[in-house]
């Protein structure tokens, strides 16, 4: 596999043949089952990982709880300085880490680098934030009283991340949690465990250099650890990224013990192509949105809702673009579309196409498995386009694959109703040069999603905004803006500096 320098990348990232899959900053505890990580790019075994047993998990949690007591006392800007060093370290490792992301997950090398860039960006954001964890002051209704609010660290944050963003989503959570004074315990997806180990290796050198307790960053692997996190009363906040089905279970389990959650679940993102759209711009937005990351982003474009007057033109432009797509090894920069994560995902993709046909969908661009030389992993599929109706069960369902459903509309109100007419509410977009349509789409009677874009596709959000969505997407927000507030506990403080004790609400209580 070394045409692309994978061995060298693994070496630089400190990854050995059998990796210890549970670690705090310095100690490794790994006595659980072995999981194997195969690359969807060429089907090769990349490494074996010893997962966490229940005892390993306990040891990591002990370290985390211990570390919290020390970490929360370090002034926030000092914590920010340590996160700044993490960003510097990630800059150094951008190349090998981006490569590993591409090889283990299957996204294009450019997107692998892009993901590491998002990690660097969130570090920079978090450094600034470490001096801006602001609360408000209020005017008390009582004389000689002062009222304000402050934010304290919430404790241990459990991060359960998905395969499709093996490193970036963890960093959005961990970097913010760390400047907030929390410690983090991370369970990466069992489909991409080596990415987790690589990140932990990078972070632990920074912790060690700064004499910071090792439990600030803990890594646990294997699916059992996910349930241990959900049920663990010591974990104040669980940030979960994944399917709506599993998210529902996480939500119930954590709520049962009154823990908090940030849920980033499924999306079913649509682009509205108006009769006032610039079709050449739609092209890049829609094609990258639908086939980029082989359709495996939460924000991937699943539906195109096209005005009837520009329908034929848009379809013909799309068909032409799809015919030029190069499918192949994601590390080869000439390719546009890499593999799906595994054969299970290929099965889901093929079944979705069948289901769409059964419900009356019409194939516009034919899909299918790609076979032959270079496609031995069995994970490569052809991006396809299906003309469908919004109410089809399969259109209402998120399939993590490059399937794009196209449909027609005649009025903007109808288009918005279609865009909103799915159970999920993550990302949405309109291509239009009409100010009226744009403002309607962004208004309270417009898109019901957490992300609503104009003349930009549905995927590729910047870290500076709060990321997340409504309805079955779970309602959580992470990354930028004031998403940090979920990682802290808010305290309202009232101080009486007078000599009387007047009660609130005008209550008289004479003794
Ligand atoms: C995800 O798919 O889980 O907006 C996150 C985007 C990326 C994040 C996607 N910044 O496509």
Question: What secondary structure does DSSP assign to 50-75, as a single string?
Answer: E---HHHHHHHHHHHHHHHHHHTTS-
- For residue 296, report the distance from its CA to the centre of ligand 1, in Å: 9
Show Cβ contacts of residue 87 under 8 Å, excluding neighbours closer than 6 positions.
119, 120, 123, 124, 127
Which of 243, 245, 268 lies closest to 392 in space, CA to CA?
A: 268
Percent of all residues in the chain with a pLDDT value above 90, rounded to a whole number: 95
322 contacts 287 by C-beta, under 8 angstroms: yes
Show Cβ contacts of residue 377 under 8 Å, excluding neighbours closer than 6 positions.
38, 39, 40, 41, 42, 43, 339
The whole-angstrom separation of Cα 325 and Cα 334 is 10
Nearest atom in ligand 1 to 296's CA: 2
pLDDT value, residue 297: 97
The whole-angstrom separation of Cα 505 and Cα 32 is 58
182 contacts 210 by C-beta, under 8 angstroms: no
Mean local confidence (pLDDT), 412-422: 98
Mean local confidence (pLDDT), 317-335: 97
Q: Work out the angle between the directed axes of helices 94-105 and 76-92 (0-180°, nearest 10).
A: 70
Query: For residue range 427-439, what is the model confidence (pLDDT) as tens digits?
Result: 999 999 999 999 9
Strands 384-387 and 362-365: antiparallel
pLDDT over threshold 90, residue 22 = no
The whole-angstrom separation of Cα 279 and Cα 385 is 17
Query: For residue range 378-408, what is the model confidence (pLDDT) as tens digits?
Result: 999 999 999 999 999 999 999 999 999 999 9
Query: For residue range 246-267, what is the model confidence (pLDDT) as tens digits?
Result: 999 999 999 999 999 999 999 9
Residue ranges lining ligand 1, Cβ < 6 Å: 164-165, 169, 241, 297-299, 459-461
Mean local confidence (pLDDT), 454-470: 97
Q: In terms of C-beta distances under 8 Å and separation of at least 24 residues, what long-range contacts does 67-71 make, across chains too?
A: 67/24, 67/183, 67/212, 67/213, 67/214, 67/215, 67/216, 68/153, 68/155, 68/156, 68/182, 68/183, 68/215, 70/212, 70/213, 71/153, 71/178, 71/181, 71/182, 71/183, 71/212, 71/213, 71/216
Among 115, 301, 461, 477, which is best to mutate for testing ligand 1, by the most ligand atoms less than 8 A from CB? 461
pLDDT value, residue 358: 98
- For residue 188, report the distance from its CA to the centre of ligand 1, in Å: 16
Query: Please, which pLDDT band fits residue 207 given cuts at 50, 70 and 90?
Result: very high
- For residue 460, report the distance from its CA to the centre of ligand 1, in Å: 6
The whole-angstrom separation of Cα 292 and Cα 300 is 8
Query: Comparing 2-6, 43-47, 218-222, 420-424, which segment has the lowest mean pLDDT?
Result: 2-6
- For residue 86, report the distance from its CA to the centre of ligand 1, in Å: 21
N-to-C CA span, the chain: 84
Nearest atom in ligand 1 to 264's CA: 3
Query: Please, which pLDDT band fits residue 169 given cuts at 50, 70 and 90?
Result: very high
Q: Is 508 exposed, middle or buried (0-12, 13-18, 19+ CB in 10 A)?
A: exposed
Query: Please, which pLDDT band fits residue 2 given cuts at 50, 70 and 90?
Result: confident
Catalytic annotation, pick one of 104, 111, 214, 264: 264
Query: For residue range 102-136, what is the model confidence (pLDDT) as tens digits?
Result: 999 999 999 999 999 999 999 999 999 999 999 99
pLDDT over threshold 90, residue 17 = no
Token pair listed for 37: 């990580």
- For residue 165, report the distance from its CA to the centre of ligand 1, in Å: 7
Percent of all residues in the chain with a pLDDT value above 70, rounded to a whole number: 100
- For residue 464, report the distance from its CA to the centre of ligand 1, in Å: 13
pLDDT value, residue 318: 97
The whole-angstrom separation of Cα 243 and Cα 112 is 22
Among 119, 297, 428, 476, which is best to mutate for testing ligand 1, by the most ligand atoms less than 8 A from CB? 297
Sheet holding 145-153, edge to edge: 137-138, 145-153, 488-496
pLDDT over threshold 60, residue 1 = no
The whole-angstrom separation of Cα 442 and Cα 445 is 8
Three-state SS for 96-125 is: HHHHHHHHHHCCCHHHHHHHHHHHHHHHHH
Nearest atom in ligand 1 to 241's CA: 3
Active site residue 414: no
pLDDT value, residue 20: 78
Query: For residue range 473-499, what is the model confidence (pLDDT) as tens digits?
Result: 999 999 999 999 999 999 999 999 999
Query: Please, which pLDDT band fits residue 21 given cuts at 50, 70 and 90?
Result: confident
pLDDT value, residue 251: 98
The length of the chain in residues reads 511
pLDDT over threshold 90, residue 241 = yes
Among 168, 294, 459, which is best to mutate for testing ligand 1, by the most ligand atoms less than 8 A from CB? 459
Query: What average pLDDT is seen over the chain?
Result: 97
Residue nearest to atom 3 of ligand 1 (CA): 298
30 contacts 52 by C-beta, under 8 angstroms: yes
Question: Which residue has tokens 């705090």?
Answer: 24
Token pair listed for 194: 């080596």
Residue nearest to atom 6 of ligand 1 (CA): 460
Mean local confidence (pLDDT), 451-461: 97
pLDDT value, residue 355: 98
Query: Please, which pLDDT band fits residue 3 given cuts at 50, 70 and 90?
Result: confident
Query: For residue range 272-303, what is the model confidence (pLDDT) as tens digits?
Result: 999 999 999 999 999 999 999 999 999 999 99
Residue nearest to atom 1 of ligand 1 (CA): 298
């Amino acid at each position: 596999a070394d045409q692309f320098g994978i061995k060298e990348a693994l070496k630089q990232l400190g990854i050995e043949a059998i990796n210890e899959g549970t670690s705090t900053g310095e100690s490794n505890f790994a006595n659980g089952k072995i999981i194997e990580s195969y690359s969807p790019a060429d089907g090769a075994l990349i490494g074996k990982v010893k997962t966490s047993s229940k005892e390993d998990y306990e040891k990591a949690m002990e370290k985390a709880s211990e570390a919290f007591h020390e970490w929360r006392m370090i002034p926030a800007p000092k914590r920010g300085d340590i996160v700044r060093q993490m960003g510097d370290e990630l800059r150094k490792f951008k190349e090998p880490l981006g490569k590993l992301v591409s090889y283990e997950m299957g996204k294009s090398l450019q997107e692998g680098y892009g993901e590491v860039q998002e990690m660097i960006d969130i570090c920079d954001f978090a450094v600034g934030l470490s001096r801006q964890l602001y609360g408000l002051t209020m005017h008390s209704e009582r004389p000689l009283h002062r009222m304000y609010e402050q934010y304290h660290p919430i404790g241990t944050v459990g991060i359960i991340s998905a395969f499709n963003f093996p490193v970036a989503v963890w960093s959005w959570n961990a970097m913010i949690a760390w400047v907030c004074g929390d410690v983090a315990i991370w369970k990466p997806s069992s489909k991409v465990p080596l990415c987790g180990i690589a990140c932990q290796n990078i972070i632990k050198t920074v912790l060690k250099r700064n004499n910071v307790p090792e439990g600030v960053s803990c890594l646990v692997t294997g699916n059992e650890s996910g349930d241990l996190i959900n049920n663990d009363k010591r974990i104040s906040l669980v940030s979960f990224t994944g399917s709506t089905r599993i998210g529902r279970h996480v939500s119930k389990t954590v709520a049962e013990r009154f823990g908090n959650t940030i849920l980033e679940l499924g999306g079913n993102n649509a682009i509205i192509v108006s009769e006032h759209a610039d079709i050449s711009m739609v092209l890049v937005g829609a094609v990258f949105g639908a086939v980029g990351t082989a359709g495996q982003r939460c924000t991937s474009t699943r539906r195109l809702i096209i005005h009837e007057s520009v329908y034929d033109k848009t379809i013909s432009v799309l068909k032409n673009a799809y015919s030029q797509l190069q499918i192949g090894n994601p590390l080869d920069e000439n390719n546009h579309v890499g593999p799906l994560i595994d054969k299970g995902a290929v099965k889901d993709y093929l079944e979705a196409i069948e289901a769409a046909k059964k419900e009356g969908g019409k194939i516009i661009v034919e899909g299918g498995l790609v076979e032959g030389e270079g496609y031995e992993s069995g994970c490569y599929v052809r991006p396809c386009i299906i003309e469908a109706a919004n109410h089809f069960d399969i259109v209402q369902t998120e399939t993590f694959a490059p399937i794009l459903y196209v449909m027609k509309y005649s009025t903007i109100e109808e288009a918005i109703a279609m865009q909103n007419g799915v159970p999920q509410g993550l990302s949405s977009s309109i291509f239009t040069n009409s100010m009226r349509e744009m403002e309607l789409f962004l208004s309270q009677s417009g898109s019901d999603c957490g992300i609503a874009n104009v003349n930009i596709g549905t995927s590729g959000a910047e870290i500076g905004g709060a990321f997340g969505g409504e309805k079955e997407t779970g309602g959580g927000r992470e990354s930028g803006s004031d998403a940090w507030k979920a990682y802290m506990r808010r305290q309202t403080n009232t101080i009486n500096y007078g000599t009387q004790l007047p009660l609130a609400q005008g209550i008289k209580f004479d003794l």
